[in-house]
Amino acid sequence: MNPPGRRWTIAELNAMDGAEFTRIVGPVYEHSPWIAEATWARRPFASLDALHRALSDTVANAGEARQLALLRAHPDLVGRAAQAGTLTASSSNEQASAGLDQLTAGEIAQFQKYNAAYRARFDFPFILCARQNKKEAILEKFPMRLERSRVEEIQTALDEVAKIARLRLEDLLQG
C-alpha cells in the first residue's frame, strides 16, 4: 500500500517494475489494478497528462465487458459500503468532499431510491466525480441521467471514472 501522503515523481513511476507500478498506480481505478498493469509497458510517461492518457486509452480499448467490470467495481454514492464504513479511503474522502457524509435521513433515502433505480436500469452504479460536485448537484443529475440510453450512460460513467482517476493521479504525483 502507498504510505499516506507519499507522493511520487513521474521519473520514480517510470523506474518501477510492473508489480510496483501496479501496486502504486492500481488504486487510481477503483478495485481495478488491471488497468495499471496493462499500461505499465507503455512507459516512459513524459508527464502526469501522458500517464493519464495512457491509462484512459487502456480503459477505452479494454472492450465493453472489462469496462462494465470497471464501472461495477465502483461503490454506490451513499450506498451500503458508505453506510457500513467499508469504502476505500479514496472513495470515502471523495464522498465526504461532496458532503455525502453529512446527509439527513431523507437525503439518504433519496440517494438510495435513485441508486436502486439507476442500477435496475443500467446494471452498474451511478458514477459521478464527487470531488467536482456537491450533494445537491448530484441529486439533480440522477433524474437526467436516468433518461439516457445505456450506450450514452456507459460513456458518461467512463468519462466520470476518467475524472476521478485524474484527480487521484494528481494526489499521487508530485508537482
Is 74 known to be catalytic? yes
Say if residues 160 and 128 touch (Cβ distance below 8 Å). Answer: yes
Find all residues with CB under 8 Å of 131, minimum gap 6, and list them. 94, 97, 98, 164, 167
Say if residues 34 and 66 touch (Cβ distance below 8 Å). Answer: yes
Residue 170 grid cell: 494528481
What is the three-class DSSP state of 173? Answer: strand
Question: Can you name the residues that pair with 173 across neighbouring β-strands?
Answer: 8
H helical segments located in the chain? 10-15, 18-25, 34-39, 48-60, 64-72, 80-84, 89-97, 105-122, 135-146, 150-172
Residues 171 and 66: their CA atoms lie apart, in Å, by 25
Question: Annotated catalytic residue: which of 29, 30, 74, 133?
Answer: 74
Residues with catalytic annotation? 74
